[in-house]
A and B are shown apart, each in its own frame.
Chain A
Amino acid sequence: MQSTRVAILGVDVGGTFTDAVLLDGGRVRTAKVPTAERQEESVVAAARAVGAKTVERFAHGTTTATNALLERRGARTAYVGNAGFEHLLHLRRQTRAQLYRLCAQHPEPLVPLERCHGVRGRLGPGGELEPLGEIPDVGDVDAVAVCLLFSFRDPSHERTVAAELRRRHPGVHVVASHEVAPEFREYERASTTAADAYLAPVTARYLGALAEAARAAGLPEPLVMLSSGGVASVAEAAAHPATILVSGPAAGVVGAGIVARRAGYADAIAFDMGGTSTDVCLLPGGRAARVAERDLGGLPIRLPTVDLHTVGAGGGSLVRVDAGGAIRVGPESAGAHPGPACYGAGGGATVTDANLLLGRLPAELPGGLVLDRDAAAAALGGVDPAAVIDVVNAEMLRALRVVSVERGHDPRDFALVAFGGAGPLHACALAEDLGIGHVLVPEAAGVLSALGLVASERRRDRVESHVRRSRRSPCCRARARPISATGGSRSSSPSRCSPISPLRSTARTRSGTGTRTTRARSSSSPFAPPTSSPGLTCPCEAHPGTWYRGVSIWTGPPSGSPRAGAGRRTTTARWC
């Protein structure tokens, strides 16, 4: 399909290193450079290091938005909700942060109370209850998030509010919830919208600088990796930065999928064990499973995201023995400085030290770092290094089971793709425990995310909630067997369930933006949701007596793009 002369560049910015992969005339070249303070400079440096000259396509994974969220470096943001509901971001869902620590606080909301405003006017489930009132003064801010009740069904009030705010404050970034996540359940939608607005100015600044730097270096405009595992234009990503919060890890998952498919394995599990944390993701059919919502820094982000399960343990995780005599690993990490004890810089005992003592690491790392065995042994004290590995592997096993067994998949049918600094060290033991017969360690294990960028496809996610009473559904009567017969919510297949078809047509009618969609190719399509998402079930089995929620996700290149028509897919996903 593609000419072998086409050069494709992928650059992934991480916390410590920026990785580049160049696919040029069928050859793959890789490079690693230290990440600089200004990320765009390291991107260009990495591109130069890998020898990128005439590049046709340039894809990029970034942590700018994620870091800005976690470090709270986003814009001065205001929030506009319905009058009487203006504190929504501060009320959350009323659960406490920790069950048995009474004063543990949730992370502070992105918008402080004094910048939360209410507007009169109300939509209900059946339409307008009260006409829209006067739009409040949002004061001196850089961004505004607007989230009104039932806007997922009728965005008219939100549209008016957003338009008026844009008119009043031309320089201010205004996001309405229906533009970013037109989904049911107001708190999760508001939280997503607030994050989107909060991150927009800083992300737009970075992506603008990057596009400028790329142009100066003779590179094409970058495509940005989305949390959902596809790429979007700089303009799209800058408009809704909440969609790129898992950009880097998503690229790794895509890379793992490529490795698995190339090696001839249809189904794989990506296992990315880094220094401080580990990400696992199921890849049925070689493509990432997706979820509709993910928590980031304690804030729900309700957008399609590769179904990564993250564990707070990695190679650099510190090891200790608690009062009950149990070995605990993580979540504290030795980081890169001082690093594990064996780096000789005064660090504590880590998983890496245990691996060294077990003879699983060479005396000298490829970078020239000489590992200090005695320091490792001293730091671990009397703790058996094999026991440390067993404990950390138990954590990893739990994560692998969460994404496989708990989602109704038998891990024995999957290949384990191990990458990240520590992934390959642990993969075989984990595979044995799970009954997995094949472990793939890619040659580019260190730069797999950048490889994923090279191979990524254009993607646009659109999500809608449709809430119906399912007792009206003919499907329910036809399939009125007890839930217990299927062991709850996991073994049924929505592809056989009739109400999905009308829902699809609803979705098509409502698109209206020129993004035509097509039906899923078949139930065995790699994107078919039945095997790829937690809790997927026929709605009538989930809630025979009450309402249910359906969400359509469809993807494909934006209309008018040169590649329109390629890779267009429709899926109907996630019922609960």
Chain B
Amino acid sequence: MNVELQVIGSSLRAIAEEMGAVLVRSAFSANIKERRDCSTALFDEGGRMVVQAEHIPVHLGAMPDAVAAVMTLPGEQWILNDPYTGGTHLPDVTVVSRTALGYAVSRAHHADVGGMEPASLPAFSRELYQEGLVIPPTPLTDEVVSLFVANARNPDERRGDLRAQIAAHRLAAARVDELCARRGRDRVAAAMDELYAYSERMVRAAIERLPDGTRSAEDVVEAVDGELTIRATVTVDGDEIHIDFAGTDPQDAHNLNCPLAVTKSACYFVVRCLTEPDLPASGGAFAPVRVTAPEGCLVNARRPAAVVAGNTETSSRIVDVVFAAFGEYAQGQGTMNNVALGNDRFTYYETIGGGQGACADADGPSAVHVTMSNTLITPVEALELAYPIRVEAWALRERSGGAGAHRGGDGVVRELRVLEDCRLSVLAERRARGPRGAAGGDGGAPGRTLVNGEERAAKLTAALRAGDLLRIETPGGGGFGAATPPAR
């Protein structure tokens, strides 16, 4: 690889990372500032992703669709959150802007975008319109900002978070200008091509090393009306992979649905883990991967199906199914344990880590976000200072990981006591069935959601009174390999 292009490539990566730093430092909400639920990336003139800062995997595959959605529109800067044209779920608000060479993209999870429940994570939404304001790809003007914040429960916080995104884009524009001025626009464009091609070469070489063949696997999600099956068939052929979801159940009447962009993100994540985990993120890494799914099924839903849990929960299960199709795989917690609390004065959102499934050669880590998320937990002190919530426990859920030659990681216990009347939504999975072990390893303990000591369903929306206690016990990961019996 040409060295000058390699050098320009590291400058482009630095720009994406710096965008992320500006966004995190200048945002208002705990969800972006403390939990870093956001991603940033640069795209070339052709709308191909060139670099992405390493933030949230679920944003990875879905960003190219956002750029594709705005490329034909007039203007310099756009906003969108429509899951069916470039978005993932409504709280993930994406800003795209033109730079001197291509596009800059930022995607941040806003803690409320309106809809039927505070924090915009209703457990029982049946159509997209109940989940909040839908913004199709639209030029970002002051009027659009006013419209957006007027539809959210915390307009000041929304405006602040959106401005933080805009600040990140201004920085990107200035940095790309500088880079083009220093290196020449043509050289930067060549470096973008090369970054893309380099990732593609690396991933193709790695796929080549995987055995050819076709395998299927399936698993279920715990929908409100019963279990829904996801089935994936993976075909490895030379240096290409095809992942097909034929046989997956039709779309959910509630909100476990995924737009295809989210499904692609989940598939790309698995391929990334299995091929080149250390490769800098670029769209080229996904060029050898083709993802197809029947229209109208759970993982390729049709408008206006509700989608809020698809992005967090179904995407986690898609990862499990695709991994299993590639070979022996001990499942991790397979949920993000989304908790949303709010009333007309505050909205708070967090996702909670759990046990990672064990690998063939190592124990699964405890108390981490597995697969599609990697957000931080809000510090107890930050949470209690900013919201009428008291944290009563934040601990490992000991022995929740499955036994095995390698143990699954333990889940966690988190107790939140609300100090004001408010609404609660919990979107979680793996409450009925725990994560499976592999190769003779035991499964992990299923998760539990308790309100005032009473066990509740995986999907939950409820009114809480001041003083009520929510307890979340997150699932442990599955073990790998049979545990050796204790020596006598």
Contact = CB atoms under 8 A, between A and B. Distances in A.
A398 B10 contact: yes
Nearest to B395: A87
Interface residues of B, number: 80
Nearest to A88: B394
A185 B382 contact: yes
Contacts of A546: 28-29, 157, 160, 386
A91 B394 contact: yes
Nearest to A94: B353
B376 interface: yes
Contacts of B393: 84-85
Nearest to B170: A487
Contact of A96 (B25, B369, B412): B369
Interface in B199-232: 199, 201-202, 205-206
Contacts of A103: 356, 358-359, 361-365, 406
A206 interface: no
A186 B164 CA distance: 26
Interface stretch (B14-22, B64-72, B296-304): B14-22
Contacts of B385: 125, 467, 547
A541 B27 CA distance: 10
Contacts of B363: 103, 105
Interface in B95-151: none
Interface in B359-397: 359, 361-371, 374-377, 379-382, 384-386, 390, 392-396
A92 B157 contact: no
B28 A394 contact: no
B487 interface: no
B202 A324 contact: yes
A84 B392 contact: yes
Contacts of B463: none
Contact of B379 (A187, A326, A483, A542): A187
B364 A102 contact: yes
A324 B167 contact: no
A505 B198 CA distance: 56
B368 A96 contact: yes
Interface string A487-517: 1111000000000000000000000000000
B394 A85 contact: yes
A484 B106 CA distance: 15
B10 A488 contact: no
B367 A91 contact: yes
Contact of B396 (A87, A395, A541, A544): A87
A28 interface: no
Interface string A103-120: 111100000010000000
A391 interface: yes
Contact of B166 (A97, A125, A327, A484): A484
B13 to A, nearest CB: 8
A339 to B, nearest CB: 25
A450 B147 CA distance: 62
Residue from A102, A402, A544 having most chain B Cβ neighbours under 10 A: A102
A322 to B, nearest CB: 7
A393 B22 CA distance: 26
Contact of A99 (B28, B198, B356, B374): B374
Contact of B167 (A187, A401, A488, A543): A488
Nearest to A402: B14
Contacts of A576: 25
Given A99-B54, A102-B356, A102-B370, A484 B7 contact: no
B3 A106 contact: no
Contacts of B85: none
B397 to A, nearest CB: 10
Contacts of A87: 367, 394-396
Contact of B22 (A390, A402, A488): A488
Interface in B266-323: 269, 272-273, 277-278
A560 interface: no
A113 B4 CA distance: 49
B7 A483 contact: no
B378 to A, nearest CB: 9
Contact of B25 (A90, A93, A489): A489
A198 interface: no
Contacts, number: 210
Contact of B163 (A105, A394, A483, A490): A483
Given A102-B359, A184-B382, A113 B368 contact: no
B479 interface: no
Contact of A93 (B33, B278, B377): B377
A210 to B, nearest CB: 38
A104 B363 CA distance: 9
A324 B362 CA distance: 28
Given A96-B368, A102-B332, A488-B170, A150 B25 contact: no
A98 interface: yes
Contacts of A150: 381, 384
Given A391-B6, A394-B7, A547-B385, A105 B160 contact: no
Contact of A95 (B10, B369, B382, B396): B369
A566 interface: no
Contacts of B168: 488
B357 interface: yes
Contacts of A545: 28, 156-157, 159-160
Interface in A150-172: 150, 152
Contact of A91 (B170, B199, B395, B406): B395
Contacts of B157: 545-546
B440 interface: no
B174 interface: yes
B57 interface: yes
A325 B199 CA distance: 11
B343 interface: no
B374 A84 contact: no
Interface string A523-545: 00000000000010100011111
Interface in B163-194: 163-164, 166-168, 170-171, 174
A187 B34 CA distance: 13
B369 to A, nearest CB: 6
A246 B111 CA distance: 39
A327 B4 CA distance: 12
A100 B3 contact: no
B164 A96 contact: no
B340 to A, nearest CB: 17
A544 B155 CA distance: 13
Given A391-B3, A483-B167, A543 B28 contact: yes
B160 A544 contact: yes
A214 B412 CA distance: 51
A544 B394 CA distance: 30
Contacts of B394: 84-85, 87-88, 91
A106 B29 CA distance: 27
Given A394-B6, A483-B26, A576-B25, A90 B163 contact: no
Contacts of A541: 26
A397 B7 contact: yes
B198 A326 contact: yes
A535 B21 contact: yes
Given A96-B365, A102-B359, A186-B381, A483 B376 contact: no
B358 A184 contact: no
A398 B386 CA distance: 36
B415 interface: yes
Nearest to A326: B1
29 contacts: A84-B392, A87-B396, A91-B394, A94-B369, A94-B377, A96-B370, A99-B54, A100-B57, A100-B272, A102-B357, A102-B359, A102-B370, A102-B371, A125-B384, A125-B385, A129-B390, A184-B379, A185-B379, A324-B201, A390-B3, A390-B4, A406-B14, A483-B166, A484-B170, A487-B174, A489-B167, A490-B22, A535-B25, A546-B157
Given A184-B382, A484-B163, 4 more contacts: A324-B1, A326-B1, A488-B171, A547-B386
7 closest pairs, A vs B, by CB? A488-B167, A100-B277, A94-B353, A103-B359, A84-B393, A103-B362, A488-B22
